[in-house]
């Protein structure tokens, strides 16, 4: 199964390389990536403020000191109530896809392999385990 996923990421990066023309400059890619992030943020906000399928209930994360990691995982909240409707889900997926496109473009421009980066981050996450508090 890993080989199929490896091929999919490589195929995606290759497809980006072959289709990227207008935004070939790294400066364009960086600003397009930033724009995609902004649009993603806006799509999530619109799901809460215009559609209403999500409710964001943000507050300070409260937990006792010296709490174990397993207990902390149960206490910390994501501040989101509700479920994305199909329209909001489609909009958010579209913006995440654009972001992935420009990440792949940056990787290609800088001669980096997106799949290798994913593997390294997975290894880092698995190695640090509970100490990978981001």
- CA–CA separation, 88 vs 52, rounded Å? 10
Percent of the chain with pLDDT over 90: 57
Look at 53 and 4; give whichever has higher pLDDT. 53
Strands 54-56 and 80-82: antiparallel
**Looking up tokens 């207990």, which residue turns up?**
71
pLDDT tens-digit readout, 51-107: 999 999 988 888 888 888 788 878 888 899 999 999 999 999 999 999 999 999 999
Look at residues 31, 33, 79 and name the one whose alpha carbon lies nearest to residue 56: 79
pLDDT confidence tier of residue 111, bands split at 50, 70 and 90: very high
Longest dimension (CA), the chain: 53
Q: Contact at 8 Å (CB) between 88 and 53? A: yes
Q: How far apart are CA 105 and CA 124, in angstroms?
A: 23
Give the number of other Cβ atoms within 10 Å of residue 122's Cβ: 10
Sequence-distant (6+) residues with CB within 8 A of 70 are none
Q: How many angstroms separate the CA atoms of 46 and 96, rounded? A: 15
**pLDDT value at 132 more than 70:** no
Distance separating alpha carbons of residues 52 and 81, to the nearest angstrom = 10
Domain ranges of the chain: 2-8+26-128
The model carries a pTM of 0.82
């Amino acid at each position: 199964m890993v080989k199929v996923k490896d091929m999919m990421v490589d195929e995606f990066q290759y497809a980006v390389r072959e289709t990227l023309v207008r935004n070939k400059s790294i400066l364009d890619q960086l600003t397009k990536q930033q724009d995609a992030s902004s649009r993603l943020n806006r799509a999530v906000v619109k799901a809460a403020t215009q559609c209403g399928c999500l409710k964001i209930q943000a507050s300070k994360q409260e937990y006792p000191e010296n709490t174990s990691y397993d207990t902390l995982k149960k206490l910390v909240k994501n501040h989101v109530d509700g479920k994305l409707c199909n329209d909001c889900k489609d909009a958010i997926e579209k913006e995440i896809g654009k972001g992935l496109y420009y990440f792949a473009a940056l990787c290609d421009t800088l001669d980096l392999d997106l799949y290798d980066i994913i593997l390294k981050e997975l290894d880092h996450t698995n190695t640090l385990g509970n100490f990978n508090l981001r």
